[in-house]
Structure 1
Amino acid sequence: MSPSHGGPWPAVIFYADAGGIRPAMFDMTQHLADAGYMVLLPDLFYRYGPYGPLVPKEVFKGDVGAILGPLMATTSNVKSSEDTEALLGYLDTRADVAGGKIGAVGFCMGGGMAITSAATYPDRFAAVASFHGGNLATSAPDSPHLLAPKLKAEVYVAGADNDGSYPPDMAERLEAALATAGVRHFAETYSGAAHGWMVPDFPVHDQISAARGWEALLALFDRTLRA
């Protein structure tokens, strides 16, 4: 998705949540495009085949694991970072993309994927942001925090104080890893927010916190991708 006029523009890869491609994701990418960014929204579940579009409010009324589990099982942080090589190659073919450095942003499941991809291709990413990303610092071999020494991008991490997938001890572990690696970063917890607060079709969407998140994200990208 690109801005309506002008160009070339800085590029951003948008790693969606576990709800997959749907109208809310297009709305969010359009928000970034309206701010002057070329936005690439990959289908993280392409290995699964056709699905959805899913409606989160309906998904959360049923067995979330049974609905989203099979989709999520087809991807991972590592697989997503492998796919990012092709995404970068595609962006390199476009004359309307400005510069070789790009940004990444991920939401929920996509948060870890965005960080992993930025660490896998450190010379390509100038900025990466995670909003209500879960499992960012675990004992898993592909835990994003283990890749902190490889990051060259500036990192922004936004958590919620009502999010079991990113508890305070995990936030401390991630921030410690980033600090030890000398990564320029800023991490904060949004008080009163719940996992998924940025996404407009989530039942927990919080307009005030979302506006704050967009402001922080655009400030990050403006600072790092327009220099």
Structure 2
Amino acid sequence: MPRSHYEKITTPDGDFDAFCAVPETTPAPAVLVLQEVFGINDNIRGLTEQLAEAGYLALAPDVFWRVEPRFERKDESGLADGMAHVQQLDFDLVPGDLTAVMAHALAMPECNGRIGAVGFCLGGTLAYLFAGTARVDGRGPDAVVSYYGSAINGMLDLAPRLECPVLFHYGAQDPYIPAEQIDEVEQAFSGRSDVVLHRYEAGHAFSNWDAPTFFDERAARTAWPRTLDFLEKHLR
């Protein structure tokens, strides 16, 4: 079983926490787990621990720390609170925070020097942002997985800066991400053999087992092994 605790991440304007799960065997590749609007909740901690069980040093940073440290909501009842926090999130500061987490993870003795990220919902957008902006000693992440990031099609000018392999998961019936926006993302990376995009007969947040109106077990059970295979290929 993986061991879990909170790591303290230091930035120029303050410290914040990252939930961390350590695999049985180290050093190992590191994976950042980037949160939904519900914060670092049971779902995100569970996914972080699943990655550790798969052999990764997994860290889920508290992205909302400037708004409300350790904010978490369990399910759909917390959606309004989470969306209000997104409105207060300073997207100009987030890349620096994610870079700080990357640097911290790479410096941990449990990390073998390889690093990636998996993000969900808000975190799906942040995973894309992480791939395009996070650089430590001149190198970026080695692989990134993005689940239904709704703002990505508005950030496609960043696409040429994504230097690592990327896996995108989208729900074909996502009310928040129209099919034409998914098409735009697919077209932006059409010349990249190391970028894969999958669509599922599901809606938004289909991976979140704590949110019954969103969760789609069939889609989640298909996407997660694809995620693990992708990380295995590019981080091992």
Check the 8 A contact 2:25/2:55 in 1, yes or no: no
SS in structure 1 at match of 2:199: strand
SS in structure 1 at match of 2:190: helix
Identity %: 27
| Shift in alpha-carbon separation, 1:172–1:199, aligned structure 2, 3 A | same
| Shift in alpha-carbon separation, 1:187–1:21, aligned structure 2, 3 A | same
Matched, 1:84 2:103: no
Find 1:209's aligned residue among 219, 222, 235. 219
Find 1:177's aligned residue among 188, 194, 219. 188
How far apart, CA to CA, are the structure 2 residues paired with 1:105 and 1:23?
16
How far apart, CA to CA, are the structure 1 residues paired with 2:51 and 2:144?
14
Q: Which has the higher strand share?
A: 2
Check the 8 A contact 1:77/1:113 in 2, yes or no: no
1:106 maps to a residue whose letter is G
SS in structure 2 at match of 1:149: helix
Check the 8 A contact 2:30/2:106 in 1, yes or no: no
1:91 maps to a residue whose letter is A
Check the 8 A contact 2:39/2:82 in 1, yes or no: no
Matched, 1:218 2:234: no
Unaligned runs of 5+ in 1: none
Matched, 1:2 2:21: yes
2:110 maps to a residue whose letter is D
1:169 maps to a residue whose letter is E
Unaligned runs of 5+ in 2: 1-19
Deviation at 1:50, TM superposition (A): 4.1
Matched, 1:13 2:32: yes
1:194 aligns with 203
How far apart, CA to CA, are the structure 2 residues paired with 1:174 and 1:78?
22
2:8 aligns with none
User: What value does the CA root-mean-square deviation take over the aligned residues?
Assistant: 1.8
TM-score with structure 2 setting the length? 0.84
How far apart, CA to CA, are the structure 2 residues paired with 1:71 and 1:51?
12
How far apart, CA to CA, are the structure 2 residues paired with 1:172 and 1:4?
37
1:70 aligns with 84
Q: How does 1:91-110 map to 2 (within 5 A)?
A: 91-99=105-113, 101-110=114-123
Matched, 1:38 2:57: yes
How far apart, CA to CA, are the structure 1 residues paired with 2:82 and 2:21?
29
Deviation at 1:51, TM superposition (A): 5.9
1:126 maps to a residue whose letter is D
2:163 aligns with 152
Check the 8 A contact 2:174/2:203 in 1, yes or no: yes
1:149 maps to a residue whose letter is P
How far apart, CA to CA, are the structure 2 residues paired with 1:5 and 1:153?
27
Count of aligned pairs between the two proteins: 213
Deviation at 1:4, TM superposition (A): 4.3
Check the 8 A contact 2:145/2:167 in 1, yes or no: yes
